């Protein structure tokens, strides 16, 4: 399977690229608005993987080409870039693909981070509204620390909540998530439930900021 990480030069894109490249045999494509930046980051990821004894090829492309080549497209971009990123690749994705969003709308003030959903109700719902007709959308990986995920020396024992209205697409994302060693995927229902899932992220960031030694806090449901 080919996985394209649009905006894959950022924190969550890097983290997922490294984990999937290390733990699976899927083809990893790093996308960026700047193809040269994507290629440079792909080389950096290969070097980091080599440092832990993993020889893998990671390819870098412009977002449009990465999306065109992929089976699963991850929108590894901030919430405020989700709509324009989808629109830039809309003619490169079809109903045979799966569009995944980990983005969360947040604002920060003196008290910390707060959930700030778009008018659609959640970023996942915004993605579903913006995606071409028929393209299945799944929300996942919202509540993970990108720093923790990107550190390949750290063993994970975390859950990620998955929301989606297309059962087949959800199953694909659950499988991909659980192929990352130490990560468990739990269904949280349909896209209408995405706000509840996304709203956990600012809470976790605030906990990490307010408590010593919890920089990479995550969630585990027992």
Rounded to two decimals, what is the model's pTM? 0.95
Average pLDDT over residues 153-172: 97
Token pair belonging to 217: 């806090």
Q: How confident is the model at residue 212, as a pLDDT? A: 87
Residue range 87-130, pLDDT digits in tens:
999 999 999 999 999 999 999 999 999 999 999 999 999 999 99
Q: How confident is the model at residue 112, as a pLDDT? A: 96
Q: How confident is the model at residue 148, as a pLDDT? A: 92
Residue 59 has φ and ψ, to the nearest 5°, of -105, 145
Determine the angle formed by the axes of helices 82-89 and 123-130, rounding to 10 degrees.
Answer: 20
Q: What band does 197 get if pLDDT is binned at 50, 70 and 90?
A: very high
How far apart CA 42 and CA 27 sit, in angstroms, is 12
Q: 3-state DSSP call for residue 32?
A: strand
Q: Which domains does the chain have, with CATH numbers?
A: 2-210 (3.40.50.720)
CA-to-CA separations, 170 to 33, 49, 90, 144, 165, in angstroms, rounded = 27, 28, 21, 18, 8
% residues pLDDT > 70 (the chain)? 100
How far apart CA 128 and CA 175 sit, in angstroms, is 21
Q: How confident is the model at residue 215, as a pLDDT? A: 78
């Amino acid at each position: 399977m080919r996985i394209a990480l649009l905006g894959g030069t950022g924190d969550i894109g890097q983290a997922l690229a490294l984990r999937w490249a290390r733990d699976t045999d899927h083809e990893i494509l790093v996308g960026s608005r700047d193809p040269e930046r994507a290629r440079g980051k792909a080389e950096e990821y290969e070097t980091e993987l080599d440092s832990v004894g993993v020889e893998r090829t990671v390819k870098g492309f412009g977002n449009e080409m990465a999306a065109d080549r992929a089976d699963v497209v991850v929108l590894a971009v901030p919430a405020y870039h989700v709509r324009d990123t989808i629109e830039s690749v809309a003619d490169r994705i079809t109903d045979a693909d799966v569009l995944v969003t980990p983005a969360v709308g947040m604002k920060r003030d003196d008290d910390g981070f707060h959930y700030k959903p778009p008018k659609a109700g959640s970023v996942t719902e915004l993605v579903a509204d913006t995606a071409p007709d028929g393209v299945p959308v799944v929300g996942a990986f919202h509540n993970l620390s990108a720093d923790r995920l990107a550190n390949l020396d750290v063993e994970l024992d975390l859950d990620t909540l998955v929301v989606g209205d297309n059962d087949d697409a959800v199953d694909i994302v659950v499988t991909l998530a659980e192929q990352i060693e130490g990560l468990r995927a739990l269904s949280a229902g349909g896209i209408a439930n995405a706000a509840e899932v996304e709203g956990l992220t600012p809470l976790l960031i605030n906990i990490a900021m307010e408590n010593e030694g919890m920089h990479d806090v995550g969630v585990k449901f027992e």
